[in-house]
């Protein structure tokens, strides 16, 4: 059997994700629960689910599979991915060894998936257990049933909110106005719980969890989805606009004028805040955009640590260096005080605290950094042979490059600008990011130049390998 072509299509590099029921259904979820119990031998497993219409059935089947194999289940119900991370780590002393979140994050409504973690909320990904599960499913491995497990349903939301507020500077948020837009995802109930504890005003937009996605797919990276948050910020004179993807593990910020703030600049802000609290600590960053983050970390007395892009790699780097924080430009933010996991709630709480203490709006906190290191934002292109394109770009720019790095794709630095070009893990996509030292026109010209080269190199391979659809980048951030 060809191990590559016969892989189950819902298994990706970091999680499961596929169209329901064609690629993922209750039967597969049940078997996955059985095999997770059989291969990893957990005592208890946390299970949570998002608001998608298919999530209750998939979660129920997953739980039934775990129970049938003799594993106890801690059912936390409708929640965000980070609440499964939190519960898995927080309940470790009570016998919890793993956690599964049923979600497809920002993907269309007919998709669903699962994110898996092991003991202490360490990610289960390809090369670290996920491949074993896929092979066992594909080959029909038999599972011996044990004494049926039991289900508990503890109320985790108050404990989770209490943990967030222990880290946040709640006094600095007094009197602020926030626009909150969960996009009909799962963040609404958490916002309500936080609002009950904070002396602040919340303007709620698309607040109720609704798996029909009546206001579009919950993905604030799509420019067409930003209007409601922007408009509400302006209408209500809010201090800060907040928007999340469906499972709210990514948080997106809008300044007091309704302007969307690129996640890259939020990384530098949060790095500075965490170094204020933990002087001299390590901060993890990724290769796509780096200069602003490195400068802010060094100026704050921290140690910048480079990691490959992707939550599994960033989390491994955080643990290896005992880093207090790690950030990705895609709006994933990781904290040592949150089991080294990503959270979509701590970032805005911390940024709002910075604003309150400084008495300055977000536009001022990031404006100078945006001028100092303007960037292109991530641009995706479909190519038939991404390895060949990377090699061609390397050959074209190597004579003038001051440095080259292959931590993740191809990073090349020059005196006044740099770029990173990397391949998608699961699709024939190539992703480009460009930044400069204070020269936006240079960013625009070099970006256009690189895109022309990528298009030329890709055209050379069109006759060799059919191109895939460029409709969306479902394995990561959407095509921009």
Which of the residues are catalytic? 105
Alpha-carbon span 381 to 219, nearest angstrom: 19
Q: Are 20 and 110 in contact (CB under 8 A)?
A: yes
Nearest to 371 by CA among 421, 443, 306: 443
Strand-strand pairing, 177-181 and 201-204 = parallel
Tokens of 448: 């256009």
Q: Are 307 and 284 in contact (CB under 8 A)?
A: yes
| 3-state SS, residue 100 | strand
Characterise 179 by phi-psi region: left (phi > 0), alpha (psi -120 to 50), beta (else): beta
Strand-strand pairing, 177-181 and 240-244 = parallel
CA angle 87, 312, 408 (to 5 degrees): 160
| 3-state SS, residue 375 | strand
Q: Are 478 and 222 in contact (CB under 8 A)?
A: yes
| 3-state SS, residue 18 | strand
CA angle 338, 339, 342 (to 5 degrees): 60
Mention every residue, 6+ apart, whose C-beta is less than 8 A from residue 313: 307
| Residues in a beta bridge with 261 | 253
Alpha-carbon span 50 to 246, nearest angstrom: 8
Q: Are 105 and 245 in contact (CB under 8 A)?
A: yes
| Residues in a beta bridge with 113 | 17
Max Cα distance, the chain (Å)? 67
Indicate if the alpha-carbon torsion angle 33, 335, 167, 199 is positive or negative. Answer: negative
Indicate if the alpha-carbon torsion angle 451, 453, 457, 460 is positive or negative. Answer: positive
Q: Are 449 and 389 in contact (CB under 8 A)?
A: no
């Amino acid at each position: 059997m060809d191990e590559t072509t016969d892989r189950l299509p819902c298994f990706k590099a970091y999680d499961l994700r596929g169209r329901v029921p064609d690629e993922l259904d209750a039967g597969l979820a049940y078997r996955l629960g059985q095999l997770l119990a059989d291969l990893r031998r957990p005592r208890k497993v946390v299970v949570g689910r998002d608001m998608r219409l298919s999530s209750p059935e998939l979660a129920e089947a997953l739980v039934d599979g775990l129970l049938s194999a003799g594993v106890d289940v801690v059912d936390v119900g409708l929640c965000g991915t980070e609440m499964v991370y939190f519960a898995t780590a927080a309940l470790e002393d009570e016998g919890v060894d793993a956690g599964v979140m049923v979600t497809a994050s920002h993907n269309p409504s007919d998709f669903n998936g699962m994110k898996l973690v092991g003991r202490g909320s360490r990610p289960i990904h390809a090369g670290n257990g996920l491949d074993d599960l896929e092979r066992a499913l594909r080959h029909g491995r038999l599972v011996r049933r044990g004494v049926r497990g039991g289900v508990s349903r503890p109320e985790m939301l108050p404990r989770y909110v209490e943990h967030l507020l222990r880290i946040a500077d709640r006094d600095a948020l007094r009197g602020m106005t926030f626009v909150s837009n969960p996009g009909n995802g799962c963040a609404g109930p958490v916002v309500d719980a936080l609002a009950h504890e904070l002396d602040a005003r919340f303007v709620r937009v698309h607040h109720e969890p609704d798996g029909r996605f009546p206001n579009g797919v919950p993905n604030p990276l799509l420019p067409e989805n930003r209007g409601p948050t922007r408009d509400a910020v302006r209408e209500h004179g809010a201090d800060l606009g907040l928007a999340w993807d469906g499972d709210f593990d990514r948080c997106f910020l809008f300044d007091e004028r309704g302007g969307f703030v690129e996640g890259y600049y939020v990384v530098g802000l949060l790095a500075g805040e965490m170094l204020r609290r933990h002087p001299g600590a390590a901060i993890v960053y990724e290769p796509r955009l780096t200069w602003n983050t490195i400068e802010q970390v060094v100026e704050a007395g921290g140690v910048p640590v480079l990691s490959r892009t992707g939550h599994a790699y960033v989390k491994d780097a955080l643990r290896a260096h005992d880093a207090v924080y790690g950030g990705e430009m895609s709006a994933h933010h990781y904290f040592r005080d949150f089991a080294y996991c990503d959270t979509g709630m701590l970032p805005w709480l911390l940024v709002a605290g910075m604003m309150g203490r400084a008495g300055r709006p977000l536009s001022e906190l990031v404006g100078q950094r945006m001028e100092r290191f303007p960037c292109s934002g991530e641009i995706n292109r479909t190519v038939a042979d991404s390895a060949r394109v990377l090699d061609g770009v390397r050959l074209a720019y190597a004579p003038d490059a001051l440095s080259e790095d292959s931590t993740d794709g191809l990073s090349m630095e020059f005196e006044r600008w740099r770029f990173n070009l990397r391949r998608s893990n699961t699709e024939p996509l190539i992703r480009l990011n460009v930044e400069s030292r204070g020269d936006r026109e240079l960013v625009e010209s070099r970006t256009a130049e690189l895109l022309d080269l990528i298009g030329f190199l890709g055209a050379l391979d069109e006759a060799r390998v059919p191109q895939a659809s460029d409709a969306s980048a479902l394995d990561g951030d959407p095509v921009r």
